[in-house]
Amino acid sequence: MKKMAPLTAALVSASLAAELPVREVILYKNGVGYFSRAGELQAGESARLEFRSAEMNDVLKSLTLEDKSGAKVSSVRYDSAEPLNRKLAEYPFLVGEGQSLARFLDQLKGSKVELRYGSETVSGVVVSARNVTGDEKRKEGEQVVILTDSGELRTIDLTAVSSVKFSESRKQEMLREYLAVIDQSRSRDKRGVIIDGATDRPRQLTASYMLPAAVWKSSYRLVFGTADATLEGWAIVDNTTGDDWTNVRLAVVSGRPVSFVSQLFEPRYVARRTADLAENESVAPVVLEGAVATEQAAMAAPAAAPALAGLRAGSMGKSMRQASADLKDEVRERDAFRRNEMYSSVAATAAARDLGELFEYRFETPVTIRKGQSAMLPFVQQKVNTRKLLIYREDFGLNPMSAAEVNNSTGKTLDGGPITVFDSNTYAGEALMETLKTGDKRLITYALDLGARITTAIDSRNDVTREIHIRRGVLTTKSARVESKTYTIHNVDQRAKTLVIEHPLRPEFKLLNQKPVETTSTHHRFEVKVAPGVTDKFVVNEELVFETSTGVTNLTPDVLASYVQNKALPAQGRLQLEQLLAKKREAAALDSQIRQADASLNELTRDQERVRQNIYSLNNVAGQQQQVQKYSAQLAAAETRIAQLRDSLADLRARKGAVDGEIAAMVEKLEF
């Protein structure tokens, strides 16, 4: 049984360890912060840092130590976090949630206890215990069966027992330890990290690490003056670490470096496989069968020994690459920005530096923020290139939005955040801005402009064929459809305005008459100057070009004639199509003649059948010989006509086949 460390030992250890105050804090946007503690340690003295349990994974992943006196850190110790279930597994009992006394005692069969039962004290060994289910005759309760010192088995109602005590002091102590472990796991949130150093002289120790931290926030004020605008930026910082930040060097970083949690604090255990050598296994008896032949039986081969199971070594844990930025350099240059007319009478004292994908604001004046408190710190306050605009997008409705084009001329990266706009010493509205790199610009909207109204109308023209090509018997046409969108702008104010129209970007369409000032991933932006009190129109023409392909052989003469008349057809192609059209028309005429001959032949055949029926009927009637002879003459004439039509059809089909062959040859040669 592993014993708990005595309280006196913990107090002695704590008294020999000094705490290092927080000297530097750098906050990021990804939920972590960089903290640096520094202080002087006396000879033989250790440093003690305290963290919440939830912070230990990040501390163990990022802790770095620097001893400026040249001494070496001999070791780093910390309070382990063995899982509660493993700690409790060492005890011979389990106290579950809402567990009854009977179920608890039933786990301790064989333990000697003393029960206070009324005025009587019963001493004996626990045999069993159970919960009793109630019914009409008896109430629900708990019972324990005791083997008394006199050798009697006695059932005792636990509801009448006033106290239970283990006769063995060791088990009584085990129960106290068990409950203490549960209490510590629930209430003890702080974990100590002890930094030892074997030295006989004072030393200067710096400990740096990353911790989960509240994300710092940005907020801005954009103040329009008579001739220019001033941007004022504030960093909102929250101290949720549990330690006071007294005169610390504070910096905030814009950007999101990769950060993650790796479980390093809690001990890990690996389930190992069981393997035994074959020689350690007993040999099974071999039963031989009786002989079924007279020849000499071969000797039975000995049973094969079982193969040794191979062990596979698992690699637990992954190597982690720790990338640490050099964030502890002192910033020497100081930029102090003041303006003659500021909305807030503060001076921004944050020096900025570019760290690649990150951007740091370091406050030159030491900062004090008590634990549980927050602070607002100005990090930028200077003139910016800004102009007022109106922005219109169709989903805005009838009115455009008042906007500002902010050019980041500060030389710093501006972290994204809300902007409160003041115009002529009056609140004008609010906006949101994404992170803005130096030299970049953004449009922000902050109010609805009721002094302008915009309506839209769409007009679409018919498709127009622009190009015609034929190759390998396939006719390809390029056609275009032109769409026009008219923006009607009503400026009811008696002042000129600059309007930016955001027109939807459709990749398949090409702009014809307007050139945008810029294009985003979703819109074209057109800038329009609107005079005071006028109604103006702005038209955007777009063209959609598409292709269609058709087999030339399948084209009818009428369709082919429409292509011949198209102005987009080149002269060489027109001549080839006119020749093809003539042959197509000749083939169509032959088709018409063949259909007419087929119709006449079918009609004669039906007439012949009718005449034959009449002759058959009259042959059975006396005195109808003259009429029969007349019908016979008609049949003879019809046969002659049918023979002529068949000859004509054969000739027409032959001519049609020849023309079709000529058409196929012409189509094969067509190319322009």
Sign of CA dihedral 521, 522, 526, 532: negative
Architecture of domain 565-669: Orthogonal Bundle (1.10)
Instruction: Write the CA distances from 230 to 223, 340, 424, 431, 435, integer angstroms.
Output: 5, 10, 12, 15, 18
Residue 12: which pLDDT band, with cuts at 50, 70 and 90? very low
CA distances from 8 to 4, 13, 14, 47, 399 (A): 12, 9, 10, 19, 76
Map 424-460 to HEC letters: CCEEEEEEEECCECCCCEEEEEEEECCCEEEEEEEEE
The tens digit of pLDDT for each residue in 151-208 reads 889 888 888 888 898 888 888 888 888 887 777 666 556 777 888 866 677 888 899 9
pLDDT at 15 over 60: no
> Using the 8-state DSSP alphabet, how is residue 29 labeled?
S
Query: What pLDDT was estimated at residue 344?
Result: 56
| Structure token digits, residue 601 | 């032949």
| 67 Rama class: left (phi>0) / alpha (psi -120 to 50) / beta | beta
What is the pLDDT, as a whole number, of residue 232? Answer: 94
pLDDT band at 497 (very low <50, low <70, confident <90, very high): very high
What is the C-alpha separation between 338 and 411, in angstroms, rounded?
15
Q: What is the arithmetic mean of pLDDT over 281-302?
A: 54
Determine the Cα–Cα distance for residues 292 and 296; give it in Å rounded to an integer.
11
Show the tokens assigned to 307: 């193969």
- What one-character-per-residue DSSP string does 180-218 give? HHHHHHHH--EEEEEEEE--SS-EEEEEEEEEE-PPPEE
**3-state class (DSSP) for residue 510:** strand
Quote the pLDDT of residue 526. Answer: 96
Among 160-174, 270-284, 346-360, 387-401, the range with the most confident prediction by mean pLDDT is: 387-401
What is the distance between the alpha carbons of residues 281 and 116, in angstroms, rounded to a whole number? 54
The residues, any chain, with a CB within 8 Å of residue 98's CB and separated by 6 or more, are: none
Band of residue 265 on the pLDDT scale cut at 50, 70, 90 = confident
pLDDT at residue 337 greater than cutoff 50: no
State which CATH number among 2.30.30.520, 3.40.50.920, 3.30.70.20, 3.30.420.10 fits the domain covering 96-181.
Answer: 2.30.30.520
Q: How far, in Å, CA of 403 to CA of 500, rounded? A: 9
Q: Which residue has the higher pLDDT, 659 or 400?
A: 400
At 214 the pLDDT is 92
Q: What distances in angstroms separate CA 445 from CA 299, 381, 389, 491, 525, one per listed residue? A: 99, 21, 9, 19, 15
pLDDT at position 98 over 60: yes
Residue ranges per structural domain of the chain: 96-181, 217-258+329-450, 453-554, 565-669
Q: With 80 as the cut, is the pLDDT of residue 450 above it?
A: yes
HEC assignment per residue over 281-304:
CCCCCCCCCCCCCCCCCCCCCCCC
pLDDT of residue 383: 92
Confidence class for position 582, pLDDT limits 50, 70, 90: confident
Average pLDDT of span 81-102: 79
Q: Tell me the range of 405-409, 554-558, 651-655 where mean pLDDT is highest.
A: 405-409
Show the tokens assigned to 131: 């919960």
**Distance from the first to the final alpha carbon of the chain:** 97
Residue predicted with more confidence, 615 or 222: 222
Residue type, position 27, single letter: L
Give the strand pairing for 523-530 and 452-460. unpaired
